[in-house]
């Protein structure tokens, strides 16, 4: 039952870097089937519910990758193994069926990396060639997250890191780097997740290369099951929690024209 929180327990926590955290949550007495792009809503007792992308899934253990921005994520960062939670999962739709061809470029900014970790794994399992581009503002996180990615991703994934402060990897944004790599490698498809301004810039550049990327959007999610209407994708008829969060850019152009 999608809308009902399932009992879960925290299995493992890891502070990957100054900014980014990893949390493994085991769903008690349930096996979960989900794909990249799908997400969960974590119920934090007496506080709030927060949506998080599935960053990995092994049997009934789900991993998330996040940063602290407010009270909810602060609470998440303080959880320890054994902490009990309620989670609604899986929500939204997987995007793997939308992806064209065999040479896929995944482009992520900040915590947009979460669904791309899951996608890298599943796309490689289905025989695709995967290039992952990740951008983050500060080099203080970049090296540690890069090492983490090398540890958990399949060895065949080509990982590139960009930093805005030029202290590690490519000097510039994930979009600048993705554009250079896409011109060189001509991917069959591009999938991207990150802040809206980053996605807007990415689609501009990719359209110059005749690529209509898949973009993962964010809106306010409450019920998670299409009942409350809070997650309507601005300027479109779509609900993020049932139709998304992944869309072909050409089907959600008004979202990018809509003022925030």
Ligand X SMILES: Cc1cc2nc3c(=O)[nH]c(=O)nc-3n(C[C@H](O)[C@H](O)[C@H](O)COP(=O)(O)OP(=O)(O)OC[C@H]3O[C@@H](n4cnc5c(N)ncnc54)[C@H](O)[C@@H]3O)c2cc1C
Quickly tell me which residue has 């993020």 as its tokens: 240
Q: Taking the complex as a whole, how short is the minimal distance between the CB of residue 218 and ligand X, in angstroms?
A: 4
Q: Which of 32, 34, 36, 72 binds ligand X (CB under 6 A)?
A: 72
For ligand FES, the binding residues (CB under 6 A) are 221-224, 226-231, 239, 241
Check binding of 73 to ligand X (CB under 6 A). Answer: yes
- Contact map string, positions 189 to 228, toward ligand X, x by CB under 6 A: -----------------------------x--x-------
DSSP labels for 15-76?
E-SSSEEEEEEEETT------TT-EEEEEETTTEEEEEE--EEETTEEEEEEE--SHHHHHH
Tokens 């090492």 correspond to 147
> What would the x/- binding string for ligand X be over residues 28 to 67, using CB under 6 A?
-----------x--------x-xxxx----------xxxx
Select from 69-77, 157-165, 197-205, 250-258 the region that touches ligand X (CB under 6 A).
69-77
CA distance linking residue 190 with residue 171, whole number of Å: 21
Cβ closer to ligand FES: 152 or 228?
A: 228
66 binds, among ligand FES, ligand X, none (CB under 5 to 8 A by kind): ligand X
Q: What would the x/- binding string for ligand X be over residues 94 to 133, using CB under 6 A?
A: -----------------x--x-------------------
Quick one: CA torsion of 87, 223, 14, 145, rounded to 10 degrees? 140
Intra-chain end-to-end CA distance of the chain, in Å: 33
Check whether the bond before 189 is cis (ω within 30° of 0). Answer: no
Q: What is the CB neighbour count within 10 angstroms for residue 9? A: 15
Tell me the Cα Rg of the chain.
Answer: 17
Judged by the rule CB under 6 A, the positions of this chain that interact with ligand X are: 39, 48, 50-53, 64-67, 69-73, 111, 114, 218, 221, 245
């Amino acid at each position: 039952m999608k809308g009902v929180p399932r009992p879960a327990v925290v299995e493992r926590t890891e502070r990957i870097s100054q900014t980014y955290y990893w949390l493994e949550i085991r769903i008690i007495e349930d096996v979960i089937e989900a794909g990249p792009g799908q997400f969960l809503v974590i119920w934090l007792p007496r506080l709030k519910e927060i949506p998080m992308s599935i960053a990995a899934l092994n049997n009934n253990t789900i991993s998330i990758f996040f940063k602290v921005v407010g009270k909810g994520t602060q609470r998440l960062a303080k959880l320890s193994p054994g902490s009990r939670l309620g989670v609604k999962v899986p929500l939204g739709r997987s995007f793997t069926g939308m992806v064209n061809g065999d040479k896929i470029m995944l482009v992520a900014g900040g915590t947009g990396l979460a669904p791309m970790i899951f996608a890298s794994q599943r796309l490689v399992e289905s025989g695709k060639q995967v290039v992952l581009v990740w951008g983050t503002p500060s080099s203080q996180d970049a090296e540690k997250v890069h090492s983490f990615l090398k540890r958990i991703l399949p060895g065949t994934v080509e990982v590139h890191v960009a930093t805005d402060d030029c202290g590690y990897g490519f000097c510039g944004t994930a979009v600048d780097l993705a554009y250079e790599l896409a011109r060189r490698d001509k991917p069959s498809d591009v999938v991207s997740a990150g802040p809206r301004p980053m996605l807007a810039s990415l689609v501009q550049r990719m359209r110059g290369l005749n690529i209509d990327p898949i973009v993962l959007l964010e809106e306010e999610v409450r019920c998670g099951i299409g009942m409350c209407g809070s997650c309507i994708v601005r300027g479109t008829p779509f609900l993020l929690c049932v139709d998304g969060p992944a869309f072909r850019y050409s089907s959600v152009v008004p979202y990018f024209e809509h003022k925030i």
